[in-house]
Chain A
Amino acid sequence: MVLQFFTIDVFFYLIVGLLFFFIIGILPVVGSIQGLAILLPLVYKLDPPQAFALMIGGASGMWLSDAACSILLKIPGSSPTVPLTFDGFQLTRRGLHGYALGAATSATILGGIISGIITYGIMSVLLLLLMFLGPAEITIIIAWGLIASIILLIGKEKIKELLSAIIGLLLSTVGFAETAHIARFTFGFYDLWDGIPLSVFFLAMLGLPEFLGFLVRREEFIVDIKYLTYVGGFRTREFYKKFIEGFKEIFRSIRIFVQAIITGLIFGIIPGVGTTAASLLAYAQSGLLTKRKEKLGEGNVDGVIGPQSAIISCWFGDFIPTISFGIPGSAAKALFLGLFMMKGLMPGPHILKQVDLVNYILLLVVIGVLLGSILIIPLLPVITRIVTIRITSWVPILLGIIFIAVYSDRSSLFDLFLLFILTLLGYSLNKYGFSTPMVAIGFVLGGILEQNVALTYQIYGLSFLYKPTSLILIIILVAVTIVSLRMLRRKQIIAMGEEDD
């Protein structure tokens, strides 16, 4: 039963996770990925339900705090919430921050519940299909997941994307190979026999380069204090009146909401497209479908409802390929996949033995979204003050905490040296236009892919490509890629047209 996992401990870790991610959501430098990378070394000693509550539940609750940052301060907490700065901030400037926040809250809560139900339905069907998949089919699906992520990424250099994935896959081969009972690429270090620790890798690729990049560029976010006075205008009767008014607005924009949910879910399921693309396209769709008198960009509340609903449903949709096939669609889901493996939850056919845990995770995401939305509103006046703190003052402390957390994982100083070397690699990759999220996805998939490649090679040789199930799967996956590509192109054109307008 799913309910057996929901103990008091789990709720404690969920609340701690939510508070942590509220701050992460508000801080402009760090997004959910950096927050997750920091938490990863800390959850080694926790039980799976507690670790999932802290990381997955916590991260799911941060989207409204992220949106609040964009709406109130015009500083997007992370890239998907950029469209919220257009209309959300216009409403704040007119003193209607309660109204905009109400609309964002309803989009988050309703979007979370509906996307959760749909995700659960799709997952139930997929789990049944998983019984028919062998190593050959899993190899094909994972390889497709990687290739599709590269093909479908918009506006990136494909060669560098592919190389990034290969670098991640190659780094995953470091350590003792179970398929061959031999230690590979350890360079004489016994500490590398267990491979590169997941927490060190994620921090080095997704966490530290981002922080150091800000220190290198010496960027500081100047927050105009007059906008913070709006934030001060909380807890008043006027604020709550506007908040409830904004909350009800979703029922007047039901078409935009449904369209955004569908876009978000599809974009979540297709690997590599990502939440940012979903929210931008939902914003463009809102422009086409809106019936309000204000134009988009001039404080139209549909410009808040559309993107926020798409962000939430994309977050849910992304769980479908991650849990069922082990194909993470984004860096955050690659981190979750790493967490699943660390806690003994293997995606693919193995997951059928742990259906309860899968249901627990999905329910946790819904609870995280709902609890996060309820808790953030009273905490906003305190939390938004955090953006006024200079980046250079909290990054050094964060660095120290990261060092301590990494050390306490295995009580090994070697991990700290490894972190430094890999951070140099991660920073250089970032700087020269390679994709560190693709490196992370490649790294997580490497182990599963190699195991399945070895098994497939031993059982079928190269003839696995001629198996009927393999052929059908290849045809379906190619068709899905072509359809997605066409859909993306069309929507890109719409989005570009909107931008021109």
Chain B
Amino acid sequence: MIRGELVFVTLLLIFISYLFYEAIGYPLITAKLFPILLIIIAYPLLLILFIRNIRHVIMKEGQNGKDSRNFLQEAIPFIHVLTLLISVYLLGFYLGFLIFLLVVFRYYQYPLRISLPLIALAMLITYLFSLISPLWDGILFHGVL
């Protein structure tokens, strides 16, 4: 029964605490003044949100685990983007983008007569971009070459 906002606020608190720890270590006052000032303002506000969320969870006014139940469905578009990222990294823009499009159009169950012209269009755009600036070849291709 975890409220998503509580997790997010806690992560923000941890992250800001780390930034505070790092900022304190800077030797010059001009380097640390601004970030420390900001963190000092942010801390009480985050604590207010944190306490408010805890109270919601205790009083069971939260979303009763709805967040965690929907998590997988919500994560799917991000998994798609991650697929694009990893496939571009491994295979370069042409093949990476192609695989990503195949995965996504398959997921949304598009027929071939729609997905093929769209893929062709995407490849054409990629080619046009490559004329302006060189694109990433991918580590697999670098290895082969």
Q: Which positions in A face B, CB cutoff 8 Å? A: 45, 159-160, 162-163, 166-167, 169-170, 173, 177, 179-180, 182, 184-185, 208, 212, 215-216, 392-394, 396-397, 399-401, 403-405, 407-408, 411, 413, 416-417, 420, 423-424, 427-428, 431-433, 449-450, 453-454, 457-458
In the bound complex, what is the Cα–Cα distance between A50 and B41 (angstroms)? 41
Interface size class of B (residues with CB under 8 A): 35 or more
Interface residues of B in 115-145 (CB under 8 A from A): 118, 121-122, 125-126, 129, 132-136
Interface of B, helix, strand, loop or mixed by DSSP: helix
Cα–Cα, bound, A197→B2 (Å): 34
Q: Which residues from chain B contact A162 at a C-beta distance below 8 Å?
A: 41, 45
- Majority secondary structure, A binding face: helix
CA distance in complex: A431, B66 (Å) = 14
Which B residues, 56 to 94, have Cβ-Cβ distances below 8 Å to chain A? 73-74, 76-78, 80-82, 84-85, 88-89, 93
- Whether A163 touches B42, Cβ cut-off 8 Å, given contacts A212-B78, A396-B105, is yes
Quick one: given A397-B121, A450-B34, A454-B30, are A215 and B136 in contact (CB under 8 Å)? no
Contact partner of A413 (CB less than 8 A), chosen from B41, B77, B136, is: B136
A-B pairs with lowest CB-CB distance, top 3: A180-B31, A215-B77, A408-B133
| Complexed CA–CA distance, A248 and B62 (Å) | 55
**In the complex, which of the residues A166, A396, A411, A431 contacts B41, with contact meaning CB atoms closer than 8 Å?**
A166
Would A185 and B22 be within 8 Å (CB), given that A163-B45, A450-B34 are in contact? yes
Could you tell me the distance in whole angstroms from the C-beta of A431 to the nearest C-beta in chain B? 7
Task: Knowing A180-B28, A407-B136, A408-B129 are in contact, say whether A159-B34 is a contact too (CB < 8 A).
Answer: no
Task: Compute how far the CA of A413 lies from the CA of B90 in the bound complex, rounded to whole angstroms.
Answer: 11
Asked if B26 and A420 make an inter-chain contact with CB atoms under 8 angstroms apart, the answer reads: no
CB-defined contacts of A179 to chain B, threshold 8 Å: 30-31
| Contact assessment for A180 and B110 in the assembled complex, using a CB-CB cutoff below 8 Å | no
Rounded to whole Å, the gap between the CB of B108 and the closest CB of chain A is 5
**Interchain CB contact under 8 A, A166 and B33:** no
Task: Give the complex CA separation of A182 and B30 in angstroms.
Answer: 10
Contact A396 B80 (CB under 8 A): yes
* Contact call B35/A173, Cβ cutoff below 8 A: yes
- Are B126 and A404 neighbours in the complex by a CB distance under 8 Å? yes
Contact A404 B108 (CB under 8 A): no
Check A424–B101 contact: CB distance below 8 A: no
The answer to whether A400 touches B26, judged by C-beta atoms less than 8 angstroms apart, is no
Asked if B54 is an interface residue, CB under 8 A from chain A, the answer is no
Contacts of B93 in A (CB 8 A): 403-404, 407
Task: Known A-B contacts: A182-B28, A392-B110, A411-B134. Give 5 more (CB < 8 A).
Answer: A163-B49, A399-B81, A404-B125, A416-B88, A427-B78
Residues of chain A within 8 A of B73, CB atoms compared: 216
Task: Give A22 to B82 CA distance when docked, in angstroms.
Answer: 30
Q: Is the CB of A393 within 8 A of B114?
A: yes
Known: A166-B42, A453-B34. A180 touches B81 (CB 8 A): no
Q: What separation, in Å, do the CA atoms of A114 and B84 have in the docked complex?
A: 47
Instruction: Known A393-B110, A403-B88, A454-B30; judge A423-B81 contact (CB<8 A).
Output: yes
Residue in A397, A407, A449 whose beta carbon sits within 8 Å of that of B101 in the complex: A397
> In the assembled complex, which residues on chain B have CB atoms less than 8 Å from the CB atom of A423?
78, 81
Closest residue of chain B to A401, judged by CB?
Answer: B125
A403 near B84: Cβ-Cβ < 8 Å: yes
B104 at the interface (CB under 8 A from A): yes
Q: Are A182 and B31 in contact (CB under 8 A)?
A: yes
- B4:A169 contact, CB within 8 angstroms: no
Q: Residue of A at shortest CB range from B46?
A: A163
A160 and B49 contact, Cβ closer than 8 Å, known pairs A180-B26, A407-B93: yes
Min CB distance B30 to A, Å, is 4
Query: A401 to chain B: closest CB distance in Å?
Result: 6
Q: Which of chain A's residues have a CB closer than 8 A to the CB of B95? A: none
Contacting residues, chain A, for B22 (C-beta < 8 A): 184-185
Contacts of A396 in B (CB 8 A): 80, 100-101, 104-105, 122
Judge whether B30 and A166 touch: CB under 8 Å: no
Q: Distance (Å) between the CB of B53 and the closest chain A CB?
A: 10
Which residues of chain B are near A169, meaning CB under 8 Å?
34, 38
Cα separation A304 to B46 with both chains bound (whole Å): 43
Contact of A432 among B8, B48, B121 (CB under 8 A): B8
Flag if B38 contacts A166 (CB, 8 Å).
yes
Residue of chain B at shortest CB distance from A458: B30
On chain B, the residues within 8 Å of A450 by CB distance are 34
Q: How far is the CB of A438 from chain B (nearest CB, A)?
A: 13
Q: A188 → chain B, closest Cβ, in Å? A: 11
What distance in Å separates the Cβ of A293 from its nearest Cβ neighbour in chain B?
49
- What 0/1 readout, one digit per residue, does chain B (6-19) give for beta carbons within 8 Å of chain A? 00110010001001
Q: CB distance B8 to A428 under 8 Å?
A: yes
8 Å CB contact of A177 from B31, B74, B77? B31
A sample of 7 inter-chain contacts (CB < 8 A) reads: A163-B49, A180-B28, A392-B108, A400-B122, A400-B125, A411-B133, A431-B4
Of the residues B19, B105, B133, contact of A185 by C-beta under 8 Å = B19
Q: Which residues of the partner chain B approach A163 to less than 8 Å between Cβ atoms? A: 42, 45-46, 49
B85 touches A420 (CB 8 A): yes
**How far is B21's CA from A18's CA once the two chains are assembled, in angstroms?**
48
Minimum CB–CB distance from A147 to chain B (whole Å) comes to: 11
How many Å from the CB of A330 to the closest CB on chain B?
22
Bound complex: CA A208 to CA B85 (Å): 14
Most buried by B among A399, A405, A423: A399
A-chain residues with CB within 8 Å of residue B85 when the two chains form the complex: 403, 416-417, 420
* With A160-B49, A416-B85 as contacts: A393 and B26 at CB distance below 8 Å: no
| Nearest CB of chain B from residue A308's CB, rounded to whole Å | 34
Contacts of B105 in A (CB 8 A): 393, 396
Contacts of A166 in B (CB 8 A): 38, 41-42, 45
Smallest Cβ-Cβ distance to A405: which chain B residue: B129
